[in-house]
Amino acid sequence: MTINGKVYLVGAGLGNVAYLTVRALQILGQAEVLIYDALVDEQLLQLVPQSCLKLDVGKRGGKPSTPQAEINQLLVAYCQLGKQVVRLKSGDPFIFGRSAAEIDALLAVHCPFEVVPGISSALAAPLVVGIPLTDPILSRCFAVFTAHEPEKLDWEALARLETLAILMGGKQLSTIVQQLLHYGRSPHTPIAVIKWAGTQKQQIWVSDLANIQTVTAGVSLSPVVIIIGEVVMLTERLNAKIEIEFSPLDMLPDQPLHGKTILITRSAGQLSEFGDRLATAGANVLEMPALEIGPPTSWEDLDRAIAHLGDFDWLILTSTNGVDHFFTRLATQGKDARALAGVKIAVVGEKTAHSLEEHGLQPDFIPPNFIADALIEHFPEALLGKKVLFPRVETGGREVLVKEFTARGAEVVEVAAYESHCPQTISPDALTALQQQVVDVITFASSKTVKNFCQLLASHGGANLDSVRIASIGPLTSKACQQQFGRVDIEAEEYTLEGLTQAIVQWAQHK
């Protein structure tokens, strides 16, 4: 079988367009399907054609992520459909990029592919803050490694090297320091922790091994590059001589949320965009996922519905999770948006509509106020005799919506497209910040995250939240906040993440 599609494994470098290779820029401009990681900068997603399908497969250390086998399946499926597929990875595809499994999957079915290098953050992050990895006197060699599994590293050998560049080390900072000190490294050894290098959110903390944990206490250290060695002290001298597009200093004081620490509690795969909005406004953002999204117990019902899409009059999508999982499953069945010809689509919320548009489709109906209740009240046609497909969360979904549609004469076919769970663990940074009462605002974008947050916090010793402002995205979430906390301090006027950001900014400006 001849396969006309092709897969490009592309390194995104630091994420800033200025540091993208010419070849990567060219390929992004021709992409028909973009499958990207969580650490890829939002601005790169604007470089693909408007018609390009964008799929976030969000692999983040320590958090729920798309299984590698499912990513492999997506690459193969879209390639076999004849698409030009770009697998966009942060940094370089072959430096801790897990590319081997994807290439093996492509080779197994003879899918053409090309690997496009990117600039690894291990090399670029120290450069943009003025730290040279080598120096004729201070650093004749350096090692690059990931601290993802610190127990497998030869710390005795690493401690003898002049300069270390460490990726995926934010959560292991304590272990890194302990091991290096244990094997003879001086507690006065300089260390730099560089977060979001080369972007507008860039921050850098410089100290020594003895004090770096105190300096970074209560701060979310993901994603960071850690540089250890005497060369760190050259940054002050060299920064005066090189141009850095984004200042390595903390956020500018004229930003409305400067100095505010905000904890966000969305599902693990949906934190980055909201966090970016808040960080751009100057906030120190901590992430505490209160929802994990994964596959349903069985795909059987959804697969059966996909096989008979022509039988349905309407497809109802009430969340980006519903959109993403429905279309991902559609692709695994060898189909794309064309399979929905003749089926009208209703969505709840602008974000859900945007997710649908990324699959090349426009919704036929979006209710006002961006809430599901308005979907029923303002539905554009009589429902008597209509057959409606509703891909939804497996448990705990919108029972009222189904009941009302059925009462109006529609045949509603509910199928599990994904499942949501309460996580078992809390980020140590988030827990410490809550217990030390350094959090200014906690945000909630759904009633389920409110319940799960309270359950998680209680299971980890609890915290005094009297001084924290509770921020809600809308009335249903606010109702849950009232039940759990007895109050809501900030509520979005427009029930979107942008509206919630604006409400928090307004609160900060009128304090």
Helix pair 497-509, 271-280: axis angle to 10 deg: 30
Q: Which helix (H) or strand (E) holds 411?
A: strand 411-421
Please list, residue by residue across 302-329, b when 16 or more beta carbons sit within 10 angstroms of its beta carbon and e when fewer do. Answer: beebbeebeebbbbbbbbbbbbbbbbbb
**Which residue in 123, 121, 163 sits closest to 143, CA to CA?**
163
Q: Which two tokens stand for residue 414?
A: 């509910």
Q: Is 37 a catalytic residue?
A: yes
For residue 323, give the DSSP letter: H
CB atoms within 10 A of CB 68: 14
**Which residue in 269, 260, 129 sits closest to 202, CA to CA?**
129
Dihedral over alpha carbons 70, 73, 77, 80 (to 10 degrees)? 160
**C-alpha–C-alpha distance, residues 402 and 465, integer Å:** 36
User: Three-state DSSP class for 233?
Assistant: helix
Beta-strand runs (E) in 422-497: 441-444, 469-472, 490-491
DSSP secondary structure string for all residues of 47-110: GS-TT-EEEE----TTS----HHHHHHHHHHHHHTT-EEEEEESB-TTSS--HHHHHHHHHHTT
Helix, strand and coil in the chain, % to nearest 5: 40, 20, 40
**Which residue in 354, 366, 359, 306 sits closest to 330, CA to CA?**
306
Sequence-ordered list of residues with C-beta below 8 angstroms from that of 221, at least 6 positions apart, any chain: 169, 170, 171, 173, 193, 195, 429
**C-alpha–C-alpha distance, residues 79 and 102, integer Å:** 12
Q: Which of 37, 276, 336, 429 is catalytic?
A: 37
**C-alpha–C-alpha distance, residues 75 and 77, integer Å:** 6
**C-alpha–C-alpha distance, residues 511 and 502, integer Å:** 14
CB atoms within 10 A of CB 218: 16
Q: Which of 54, 59, 351, 386 is catalytic?
A: 59
Q: Which of 6, 63, 92, 168 is catalytic?
A: 168
Question: What is each CA distance from 451 to 290, 427, 448, 479, 490, in whole angstroms?
Answer: 9, 17, 5, 11, 18
Catalytic positions are: 37, 59, 168
